[in-house]
Structure formats: structure tokens, C-alpha cells
Amino acid sequence: MNYTIALAGNPNSGKTTLFNELTGAKQHVGNWPGVTVDKKEGTYKKNKEINILDLPGTYSLSPYSAEEVIARDYIVKNRPDAVINIVDGTNIERNLYLTLQIIETSIPVVVAVNMMDEVEDSGIVINFEKLSEAFGIPVIPIVARKGKGLDKLMEAAVRVADDKTVPKELKIFDSNINTAIDAVYEVLTSDYNVSKRDAVEKDALNYWKAIKVVENDDIVTGELTNNQKPEIIAILGEAEKYADGDTEAKIADLRYKFITNLVSESVKKPKTHIETGS
């Protein structure tokens, strides 16, 4: 069985280091079609049936940069067998913003918490079980630079790919936003019938699109048909009333709140933490 596993993460999270450790020297660097963003592909050095693809480093999956559009299109349209989301453990709160958005695509995903050498040196204690339980996916500590934790990481990635384990539906949004997402989803899926075989993946794509429409995502909104637009404009108008006129800002705010809560429950920082500013 062949697998495609994509690496996604913030810039500087150690994505290239991990990619090089996993693939050894046999990698191919090209460009993503139409843009001069590096596209690196290789095979896992311990199992040649596993293809590893390095997505561009991003903080988010917004429509505003080529890197983010490449990363999200690849995840939602190509649907790799699994995503490894590499996270900088010394900066976990900021990095989990992307994690939430990857989880929202309903793709099998494993979170790799990197830089665990620095995390341990600084006295930060991360409760991996709690994070894993909260997301409903494996969360694995690694030190990419020393190759530590990578066997476990790859075992977990293959496991979620085989089992098609998708993350939990997280309770991030408020009832106003959820009502709008569900209503947009109904509009997006009322137009056509999907075969049983395609239904699960189509549903995941449409649910993701529904979130993006409520976020006022230019690209996804631009793909709406003229039939869909009037109903969707009405749904968004209603949602905006309860979101101080800005559902995009509201959604971002709710994501940050979710992460802040989760981190306060699962990451213990030492009382006298000295910022190194590195």
C-alpha cells in the first residue's frame, strides 16, 4: 500500500529538518504549479511506499498568501492519506492556530510537537495525553534535529491513514456561527447528489467550505454559483448581526479562545520563565 503524507507547520517549526530526517538525501525539489514556492517530495527512508511531501510553511490557512492557498488546496482537494502537523513546542499557543484549521479540514492528522529538547530545558511541561484527547488525534513529542520520536510519529501517521481517523468535531464556535455554518453547508450540498463512495470526502470538503464562506473567504466565496448566492448572503447577514458585524474576526477570536483554554489546561510553564528572545 502506498501512502502520501504531507508535512504542514508554521515557518521555523522545524519542517525542513523533519523532512530531511525522514527522507534522507533522496528528495526532489520542484515548484508548485504557477508559483515559485518550493515543492519538496521524497520517500520515507525506512519505508519506500511512504511518500513525504513538504507543504509551504504557514501560520494559517487563509486566502491571502500563495503559501497558504497551496497548503490548504493540497489538504482539502488532493487529500493526502495523512497530514503531519509539526508544531514548535516552545511556542505552542501560536502554532496551534494552524492545527485547529487543519483539524477543520477533517483530514487524518497527527501533531508532532518539535523542539522538545528546548521545551525540556526551559522547564515547560506539556500534557500530551490531554492534547491528544482534546483533539481526538495522536500528539507525539519529537526532536527533529536529533531524529528523536520519529519512528513513533511515523507509526502514528500510518495508523491514522489506515484507519482514516479524523479529528473530533471541536466545540470552537458559538451557536450563532454554528447555525450559519450549518445553513451554508445545507446550501452547498443541496445542489447535487453524491455517490456513497464520494459522500464522506465531499461532505468534509463542503463543511470546510461552509466555515470559509462564513469567514468571508474571498476564494471560496468566489466559487459560489448564482443559485447559491442569495441564500448565502441572507445567512451571512443574519450571522453578522450577532458577531458585531464581522464574522471573520469573531471566528478568529473564538479559535484563539479555544487554544488559550486548552493550553492553560495542558501546558505548565515554569513560574520564573526567562525569555531568551531567540
Under the rule (CB under 6 A), what is the footprint of ligand GDP?
9, 11-17, 57, 114-115, 117-118, 143-145
In whole angstroms, the minimum distance from the beta carbon of 102 to Mg ion comes to: 17
* 89 annotated among ligand-binding-site residues: no
* Strand pairing report for 27-31 and 38-44: antiparallel
Q: Where are the alpha helices (DSSP H) in the chain?
A: 15-23, 66-73, 92-103, 116-121, 128-135, 150-163, 175-190, 196-214, 218-222, 229-241, 247-266
* 18 annotated among ligand-binding-site residues: no
In whole angstroms, the minimum distance from the beta carbon of 24 to ligand GDP comes to: 15
Residue 247: partners with Cβ closer than 8 Å, 6 or more residues away:
177, 180, 214, 215, 216, 236, 239, 240
Which of the choices Mg ion, ligand GDP, none does residue 190 contact, using the CB cut-off of 5 to 8 A by kind?
none
Total binding residues toward Mg ion, as defined by CB under 5 A: 2
* 227 annotated among ligand-binding-site residues: no
Of 5-34, binders to Mg ion (CB under 5 A) are 15-16
Which of the choices Mg ion, ligand GDP, none does residue 14 contact, using the CB cut-off of 5 to 8 A by kind?
ligand GDP
Nearest to ligand GDP of 15, 255 (CB atom): 15
Stretch (H or E) spanning 195: none
In whole angstroms, the minimum distance from the beta carbon of 83 to Mg ion comes to: 16
In whole angstroms, the minimum distance from the beta carbon of 54 to ligand GDP comes to: 8
* 154 annotated among ligand-binding-site residues: no
- What residue type is assigned to position 269 of the chain? K
Which of the choices Mg ion, ligand GDP, none does residue 230 contact, using the CB cut-off of 5 to 8 A by kind?
none
For residues 209-233, b (16+ Cβ closer than 10 Å) or e, as one string?
A: bbbbbbbbbeebbeebeeebeeebe
Nearest to ligand GDP of 153, 210 (CB atom): 153
242 burial class (0-12, 13-18, 19+ CB within 10 angstroms)? middle
In whole angstroms, the minimum distance from the beta carbon of 15 to Mg ion comes to: 5
244 burial class (0-12, 13-18, 19+ CB within 10 angstroms)? exposed
In whole angstroms, the minimum distance from the beta carbon of 57 to Mg ion comes to: 6
* 136 annotated among ligand-binding-site residues: no
C-beta separation of 70 from 32 below 8 A: yes
For residues 134-172, b (16+ Cβ closer than 10 Å) or e, as one string?
A: bbebbbbbbbbeeebbbeebbebbbebbeeebbbeeeeb
* 213 annotated among ligand-binding-site residues: no
Which of the choices Mg ion, ligand GDP, none does residue 115 contact, using the CB cut-off of 5 to 8 A by kind?
ligand GDP
85 makes contact with Mg ion (CB under 5 A): no
* 90 annotated among ligand-binding-site residues: no
Q: CA-CA distance, 125 to 65, in Å (whole number)?
A: 34
Nearest to Mg ion of 115, 236 (CB atom): 115
Annotation: binding site:
9-16, 20, 23-24, 34-38, 54-57, 114-117
Contacting positions for Mg ion (CB under 5 A): 15-16
Binding-site residue numbers for GTP are 9-16, 34-38, 54-57, 114-117
